[in-house]
Structure 1
């Protein structure tokens, strides 16, 4: 049985290079700016454009959601917004949930920030929420993300063929998941 109060608590999780804090109204400007970044949009397969009003409403309503966890990724030293992540589609009956992460700019990739954020949230998901399985989708061209997920214990479980049409080209997505017993802390 999972601990649903751990979804309501909206924790702050601190690592060496990142701090995960509840996504809130104070993140609206940075969250909106990240949604405009072309490479971030490509990596996440985001076709539509978010309006500032939509970004504001999203950030303002996260704290009230008791069925998911939305956290901002912050640099601990200067408080700079680095991105956001979510544990969503929580199935208490199956002790499973989906996971997504998006760094806010390409300048933050390749520095281990996504790996550290993923490890922090997986530890929370398995040990505090009590999940057994966490799954995600990643596009096959996002090799850096696939490597990060593998290093955290995710395995490929399936392929969604031609699931993204981006600038006239079709791309597959991988379904990956990690079980509590396969989670790797580094």
Structure 2
């Protein structure tokens, strides 16, 4: 099975507290609420405002994409608490980019990001056949960096002044993990 085939049909992933389901238009209301979370937007460096129509078009596109796997993260009560995404697929090099966004302050600091991240990473390495997963995290988000390290990502470097936010330059910490790396 090729990476494109695996990514075209991402499965439902189950963890002890979470269910990761393919992200799509059915999550529009929850995504609109998440996009109103100013802290989440800052932590991910997301600017601008998005219309419902723009977000709906994006959700329709990602649901059909074969070069990315987008998962909606649902808690035990099946409430939407965010998304975890494997995108920027480089099939020739068996590599993807990783990103995650949790919605609402009540979801942060409870280990949900680490738990969802582990599930997505294990699927990517174990089932989809990815060799390398990389990410960058802004230096003003050390909690996310700690979460990524718990998943197994390692710091590979620093890109200086990648984001201009609230009048200040912010660096990005570059992280990655390989299929052959030991898991914590």
Confirm or deny: 8 A CA contact 1:152 1:183 kept in the other structure. no
2:37 alignment counterpart = 37
Q: 2:169, 2:180 → 1: CA distance?
A: 34
Displacement of 1:49: 1.3
Comparing 118-127 with 152-161, which one deviates more in the overlay? 152-161
Q: 2:11, 2:60 → 1: CA distance?
A: 16
1:119 alignment counterpart = 118
CA distances 1:39-85 after superposition (whole Å, capped 9, x unpaired):
0010000111111111111122222101110110011x321000011
Confirm or deny: 8 A CA contact 1:28 1:56 kept in the other structure. yes
2:158 alignment counterpart = 159
Task: Tell me the TM-score normalised to structure 2 length.
Answer: 0.95
* Runs of 5+ unmatched residues, structure 2: none
1:148 alignment counterpart = 147
2:85 alignment counterpart = 86
Change (3 A) 1:46 1:3: closer
Q: 1:66, 1:4 → 2: CA distance?
A: 5
1:21 alignment counterpart = 21
Q: 1:72, 1:183 → 2: CA distance?
A: 27
3-state SS of paired residue (1:145): helix
Q: 2:29, 2:182 → 1: CA distance?
A: 34
Confirm or deny: 8 A CA contact 1:10 1:63 kept in the other structure. no
Please identify runs of 4+ aligned residues in structure 1 that moved more than 3 A.
none
Displacement of 1:2: 4.8
